[in-house]
Amino acid sequence: MASHIMELPRKILIGENNISDIGDFLVGLSAPERVSLVSGDKVRKITDKKISSSLSDSKIKYVWHRSTSNDVDSAKKTLEDIRKDKSDLIIGIGGGRSVDIAKMIAFTLKKSFVSIPTSASHDGIASPFVSLRGDKPYSIIATAPLGVFVDIAILKKAPRRLLASGCGDLMAKVTAVRDWELARDNVGEYFGTYAANLASMSAKIVIDNSKDFKKKPDVRMIVEALISSGVAACIAGSSRPCSGAEHLFSHAVDHLKPGIGLHGEKCGIGAILVAKMQGQDWKKIIQMLKNVGAPTKAKEIGLEPSVLAKALTIAQSLRPERYTILSKKIMNEQKAIELAKSTGVL
Ligand SMILES: NC(=O)C1=CN([C@@H]2O[C@H](COP(=O)(O)OP(=O)(O)OC[C@H]3O[C@@H](n4cnc5c(N)ncnc54)[C@H](OP(=O)(O)O)[C@@H]3O)[C@@H](O)[C@H]2O)C=CC1
Ligand SMILES: O=C(CO)COP(=O)(O)O
Ligand SMILES: [Zn+2]
């Protein structure tokens, strides 16, 4: 069996109204003298004061950087700015875009990386993987965070749509793990039972508890499930337990029409379609997505039928080496439309 590396985060702190402790956390983690911070404008507005004053109190020098777009060229520009900082540590603060950009830059500059998620919207929070537009149409391996710092109070105040999207990314594990089993059974791919079970559990815990999420979501449970899902990827040494044909569908939509819907929204809709192809209980996925307030219909995210059909048809070709149900059951646009209509996605 081929060997693979399991790179895991060293320290994960989850608290509530604890963002002002970030300085202490970093001192305990690696005692950096200077850090580079990467965030978008909205997130900076929310976090700047408390993070900046906590770092100053801990005698840590800092430089803020803007993450405006997750395309490779913007990330490279930010990388060159950060190189000049000569900092010991790079910190990504925000949703998946800022966390990924900071993670990639830290990896390239061979610096430690800390993840501060401000939304429970994706499972890259604790994983070593990054997705940048203009590179591969799927994630590539970078570096696992040395530390993850979560202030639940910030996540609770984030737009509800982001949280529902995170639940969609978790729901995707139902179909991703089934695809991994198919790859094991049909092409003899390495299958990590532990990583697969961990990823499945992060979806199950949300399914089992999602009934009241619309009214009162358990944000801590969701973010822990997202962290755990990222750890499943750390253990697997690839995004395999977290990403199957439903992710390929999401990547294909991004490839054809960037900017439609959030990552987890597309993965959730993809999971409905793929679950039906796999012979799984797709109605349960719809119910759970509805429970958390995530979209279950293409039109809810402005996804046109023609784009959906094309995306499902080309999805597997974006990552031919990742065997999924779409390798076994070849799609075409007519079949895609029929599938989407039969599940109510169209
Ligand atoms: N590495 C991996 O394994 C994974 C990576 N991804 C990647 O993550 C990205 C998607 O992440 P996602 O989080 O959905 O989208 P974004 O990171 O684009 O965030 C969406 C918006 O939410 C805002 N936001 C975040 N937190 C708050 C908050 N607390 N209050 C108000 N607004 C907030 C952001 O603000 P601002 O503009 O200030 O940042 C941004 O405008 C994609 O690039 C995807 O490829 C997704 C899954 C896994
Ligand atoms: O989004 C991811 C896992 O949730 C990453 O998966 P990909 O490797 O398909 O980009
Ligand atoms: Zn995902």
Distance from C-alpha of 159 to C-alpha of 284, rounded to nearest angstrom: 25
- Length in residues, the chain: 346
From 71, 97, 226, give the residue whose CB has the most ligand 1 atoms within 8 Å, as the site to mutate. 97
CA of 22 to the centre of ligand 1 (A): 20
65 labeled part of a ligand binding site: no
281 labeled part of a ligand binding site: no
Domains and CATH numbers, the chain: 11-157 (3.40.50.1970), 174-342 (1.20.1090.10)
pLDDT at 53: 98
Share of the chain above pLDDT 90, in %: 96
Residue 77 tokens read as 């520009």
Amino acid identity at 94? G
Residue 274 tokens read as 């793929």
pLDDT at 214: 80
Mapping DSSP to helix (H, G, I), strand (E, B) and coil, where does residue 20 land?
Answer: helix
CA of 25 to the centre of ligand 3 (A): 28
Q: Which ligand is nearest to the CA of 248?
A: 2
Which segment of 3-7, 41-45, 315-319 scores lowest on mean pLDDT?
3-7
Q: Which ligand is nearest to the CA of 268?
A: 3
Query: Ligand 1: residues whose CB is within 6 Å?
Result: 39-43, 46, 70, 94-98, 100, 118-119, 121-124, 127, 129-131, 139, 154, 158-159, 162, 165, 169, 262-263
**pLDDT per residue as tens digits for the range 240-276:** 999 999 999 999 999 999 999 999 999 999 999 999 9
Whether pTM > 0.90 for this model: the answer is yes
Residue 87 tokens read as 């900092």
122 labeled part of a ligand binding site: no
pLDDT, mean of residues 139-150: 96
pLDDT at 29: 98
What atom in ligand 2 is closest to the CA of residue 247? 9
- Kindly list the protein residues that place their beta carbon closer than 5 angstroms to ligand 3, a single-atom ion: 169
Residue 2: pLDDT band (50, 70, 90) is confident
96 labeled part of a ligand binding site: yes
Asked if pLDDT for residue 284 goes beyond 80, the answer is: yes
Question: Directed axis angle between helix 96-109 and helix 72-85, to 10°?
Answer: 60
**pLDDT per residue as tens digits for the range 194-250:** 999 999 999 999 999 988 888 899 999 999 999 999 999 999 999 999 999 999 999
Residue 322: pLDDT band (50, 70, 90) is very high
Amino acid identity at 221? M
User: If you write DSSP's letter for every residue of 231-256 in order, what string do you get?
Assistant: HHHHHHTSSGGG-SHHHHHHHHHHHH
97 labeled part of a ligand binding site: yes
**pLDDT per residue as tens digits for the range 105-125:** 999 999 999 999 999 999 999
Distance from C-alpha of 133 to C-alpha of 72, rounded to nearest angstrom: 6
Whose CA is closest to 23, among 31, 11, 15?
Answer: 31
Asked if pLDDT for residue 147 goes beyond 80, the answer is: yes
Distance from C-alpha of 190 to C-alpha of 281, rounded to nearest angstrom: 26
